[in-house]
Structure 1
Amino acid sequence: MPQSHWSVLEVEAIVATYRQMLVAELSGQRYNKSQLNQALMERLQDRSRSSIEYKHRNISAVLRDADCPYVDGYKPLGNYQGMLVEAVERVLLGSEIFDRAARSAAERPAVDSAEPAHDGVIVMPPEASQSHHEINERPAAYERRPIKRDYLAREAHNRELGLSGERFVVSFEQRRLRQAGESRLADRVEHIAETQGDGAGFDVLSFEPNGRERWIEVKTTAFAKESAFFITPNELACSRDNAERYHLFRLFTFRHKPRMFCLQGDMSDYLCLEPNSYRAGIR
Structure 2
Amino acid sequence: MARNEPWSDTENAVTVRAYLNMLEQELTGQHYSKTQYRREVAERIGRSEASLEWKFRNVSAVLADQRCVYVRGYKPAVNYQDSLADEVARQVRGRPDFFHKMDTAVDRDAADLLDLNWTDSVMPTEVLITDGPHRLHTRGYHTDYVAREAANKSLGDRGERAVVRRERSILEAADRRDLAEQVRHVSLEDGDGWGYDVKSFEPNGEERHLEVKTTRQSINWPMIVSRHEVRVSESKPEHYVLMRLYNFGDGTGYYELHGAISATCDLDPLDYLALPKAGAA
Q: Give TM-score scaled by structure 1 length.
A: 0.90
**Unaligned 5+ runs, structure 2:** none
**1:280 Cα deviation (Å)?**
4.0
Distance in 1 of aligned mates of 2:185 and 2:209: 11
Distance in 2 of aligned mates of 1:232 and 1:68: 21
Please tell me whether residue 70 in structure 1 is matched to residue 70 in structure 2. Answer: yes
Residue in structure 2 matched with residue 91 of structure 1 by the alignment: 91
Counterparts of residues 261-272 of structure 1 (less than 5 Å): 261-272=255-266
Please tell me whether residue 277 in structure 1 is matched to residue 277 in structure 2. Answer: no
Distance in 2 of aligned mates of 1:274 and 1:93: 28
**1:116 Cα deviation (Å)?**
3.0
**1:229 Cα deviation (Å)?**
1.9
**1:93 Cα deviation (Å)?**
6.2
Aligned-residue sequence identity (percent) comes to 38
**1:94 Cα deviation (Å)?**
5.6
**1:282 Cα deviation (Å)?**
5.9
Which string of whole-angstrom CA distances, capped at 9 and with x for unpartnered residues, describes residues 11-70 of structure 1? 11111111111111111111111111111112111x111100111111112222111111
Residue in structure 2 matched with residue 245 of structure 1 by the alignment: 239
Which amino acid letter does the alignment assign opposite residue 84 of structure 1? L
| Contact preservation (8 Å) 2:116, 2:251 | no
Counterparts of residues 96-107 of structure 1 (less than 5 Å): 96-107=96-107
| Number of residue-to-residue matches in the alignment | 273
Distance in 1 of aligned mates of 2:105 and 2:219: 16
| Contact preservation (8 Å) 1:66, 1:146 | no
Which amino acid letter does the alignment assign opposite residue 218 of structure 2? A
| Contact preservation (8 Å) 2:258, 2:264 | no
Q: Alignment partner of 1:269: what SS?
A: helix
- Seen in structure 2, the aligned counterparts of structure 1 residues 75 and 93 have a Cα distance that, compared at 3 Å, is farther
In structure 1, which of residues 120, 123, 126 is the aligned counterpart of residue 121 of structure 2?
A: 123
| Contact preservation (8 Å) 1:21, 1:33 | yes
Residue in structure 2 matched with residue 163 of structure 1 by the alignment: 157
Distance in 2 of aligned mates of 1:146 and 1:18: 22
Residue in structure 2 matched with residue 196 of structure 1 by the alignment: 190
Which string of whole-angstrom CA distances, capped at 9 and with x for unpartnered residues, describes residues 209-242 of structure 1? 1000000001111122211221100000111111
Please tell me whether residue 232 in structure 1 is matched to residue 208 in structure 2. Answer: no
Report 1 or 2 for greater relative contact order, CA contacts < 8 Å, sequence distance ≥ 6.
Answer: 1
Distance in 2 of aligned mates of 1:96 and 1:197: 40
- Seen in structure 2, the aligned counterparts of structure 1 residues 243 and 94 have a Cα distance that, compared at 3 Å, is farther
Please tell me whether residue 176 in structure 1 is matched to residue 170 in structure 2. Answer: yes
Residue in structure 1 matched with residue 130 of structure 2 by the alignment: 135
**1:244 Cα deviation (Å)?**
0.7
**Unaligned 5+ runs, structure 1:** none
| Contact preservation (8 Å) 1:16, 1:92 | no
Distance in 1 of aligned mates of 2:93 and 2:78: 18
